[in-house]
Structure 1
């Protein structure tokens, strides 16, 4: 059990201590993941950045994939066929979702570009295992940006999600993975949403003591 996202971030850092002092960048998934990642990065003395991924969701609420603020998209072709979604509808979803992701990324970084990943190890952090397409896209995005190694770090996830993550990441660090897993919030005493202004402050504060 974690008291809050900061506690989860510190506990993750203890399992990632071998990356302290190395050429690493901690990437927090925009939202609660960034709250965890900020504490992990601080404990490791590593730089922090946000990674924005948006789910592709049809008008009826059916998820069909995810897209990053970069160049990466993962589409669930079976879900698209089942929903009978046309190419134009999917392209429209992609345009809107990517524009939204890029806009949010710029706001979180106060207009600054993403930190370079080339040759670095990327530690992708969430506050729990997000939907499979989201973390899949996050890992692929880091790889596309030049990461030499991709590590996924989550406080809690189901065994099935951990197995899936191992197919897209070089390493998966998960502190709690019980067979009875339902939702990540079950493992936090405080799982309140994190306001965008607070996320921006986390990035600004991290930039003050890392390069």
Structure 2
């Protein structure tokens, strides 16, 4: 069925008439063009539509990356797909020329702590988050993270009242440069660095910043 669909589209994916080297170059060009044209990370399922059945996409991606060495942009694995992104070393130049770097969505320390807990302990309820911090996590705070596209409603919790849980999104992965949740920093590494203690979190011993307005001025767009 997939081959019939490709034939109907009029795209020769096998390229059997081309020598192997030219066939490979054509597949590389198609894959890079599809990724370049997309504003979102492109998944494997999309890319296989433009190459032959025997094409190894991982090797294609590796060859494209090799050709981009020394260029101001690179091909990265993010949010379950691939995307072209400018290298971090050119951020100042982009900001100076376009101001785009000044439009980064702000995350206060307050927001970052909440988002970190959702990422590590999802699916998690607002009540459980409040318990972690010994202070209520407001609906407005959850709404802010949802408006940024970083979290979404998850399955209902089996707790009494079946409250909603919250989970991170593909936008979260994309924004922070993760391919999957398995790319999150290891919990033990964070504990060793003194950045996070699971025991303290579960005991509610990590307080949120007391002054919400002050913390909102201290933006932190890292994770």
Please indicate, yes or no, whether the TM-score normalized by the shorter chain is above 0.5: no
Larger-gyration structure (1/2):
2
More strand by share: 1
More helix by share: 2
The structure with higher relative contact order (CA 8 Å, sep 6+) is: 1
Where on the TM-score scale, by shorter chain, does this alignment land: which range? under 0.3
TM-score by length of structure 1 reads 0.27
TM-score by length of structure 2 reads 0.26
